[in-house]
Structures are given as structure tokens and as C-alpha cells.
Amino acid sequence: MTKVLVLNGPNLGRLGSREPEIYGTLDYAGLQSALLKTASELGLDADVRQTNSEAELISWLHEAVDTGSSVVLNPAAFTHYSYATRDAAALVTKAGLKLVEVHISNPHAREEFRHNSVIAGVASGVIAGFGVDSYLLALRVIAS
Ligand code: DQA
């Protein structure tokens, strides 16, 4: 069974109440259960996690390498400035594992500082702007 870690960065645990006009009304628990349902339909062994800590997110990316897991990564604000997260993400794709960067919103349609992703250059691909479907599409890519 293909293993996949779905990793969420800072503030994504606040989904549902955080700027619902941008991120929607589904809360983090709802996101988790939608992801686990789709993953099992696709025959994926998924683990869905969220952290506000850059160090923890990096250790999870190392874990993906060590366990041969594909990754769906919403780095949240780390997207725009965390070279350490980029370097850890690069370890995943250099190991031959898929890493799909996802965003709920379309950062390119928002403030200037969100237009750049320091992660995208080492990701297998990027899916943004489709709400929760960004994650579900990423799972499909990993299953295919
Ligand atoms: C986000 C977009 C980022 O710019 C922002 O910092 C987030 C969420 C998204 O999923 O749309 O926290 O990654």
C-alpha cells in the first residue's frame, strides 16, 4: 500500500474559524476525515498531521524519506520564506518520492508576499486554489 503523509503547517489547525471567506468553513477535523475517506477509496495508507512548528514539520519530512512515504504538503506561511522547509522537501523528491505542494486558496491572487513559493522548485508539482479539493486532487496524483 502506498504510504502518504499529508502535512499541514502553521495556523491550518484553525480552519473553519480562520478567515472563512478565504479558507472556507470546513474545520481541520473535517479536512482530516475527508482526506482519510478519499485516501482509503484510492487504496492509500494516509496519515494527516498539522503543526505550528517548523522543526516538527521538518522532522516529518525526514520521516517521509526514512519510511518511503509520498507527501502532500501545505506549508502554509512557511511556503513563502522557509528555506529549511524547502531543503527538507528537496530530500523527499531527491529520494524519488512524490511531494505535492497544495494550497486551499490561490496565493497568486492574494498579497504580493504570497506570490513566491520557496518550496515549489523542489516539489513534484503544485495544486492551489481549489479549497479542500486541492488536497483530494493531490491524493489522486499520488495514487496514479
Ligand atoms: C495557504 C496560503 C498561505 O499563503 C497561507 O499563509 C496559509 C494557507 C493556503 O492553503 O491557501 O496559511 O497555504
Using a 10 angstrom Cβ sphere, with 0-12 exposed, 13-18 middle and 19 or more buried, the burial of residue 42 is: middle
* Distance between Cα 23 and ligand 1 center (Å): 8
* Distance between Cα 80 and ligand 1 center (Å): 9
Angle at 110 between CA 88 and CA 137, to 5 degrees: 55
Beta bridge partners of 71: 5, 99
Judge whether residue 116 has pLDDT over 90. yes
The mean per-residue pLDDT over the stretch 25-49 comes to 98
How many domains does the chain contain in total? 1
Cell numbers found for residue 114: 504570497
Judge whether residue 9 has pLDDT over 90. yes
- The CATH number linked to 131 is 3.40.50.9100
Computed over every residue of the chain, the mean pLDDT equals 97
Question: Of 103, 108, 115, 135, which is the active-site residue?
Answer: 103
* pLDDT tens profile 62-92: 999 999 999 999 999 999 999 999 999 999 9
At 1, the pLDDT band (50, 70, 90 cuts) reads confident
pLDDT computed for residue 78 by the predictor: 98
In sequence order, what DSSP letters do the residues of 40-98 get, joined into one string? HHTTEEEEEEE-S-HHHHHHHHHHHHHHT-EEEEE-GGGGGT-HHHHHHHHHHHHTT--
At 141, the pLDDT band (50, 70, 90 cuts) reads very high
Q: How far apart are CA 70 and CA 92, in angstroms?
A: 8
Query: For this structure, is 115 an active site residue?
Result: no
End-to-end alpha carbon distance in the chain: 13
Residue 34: give the domain boundaries: 2-143
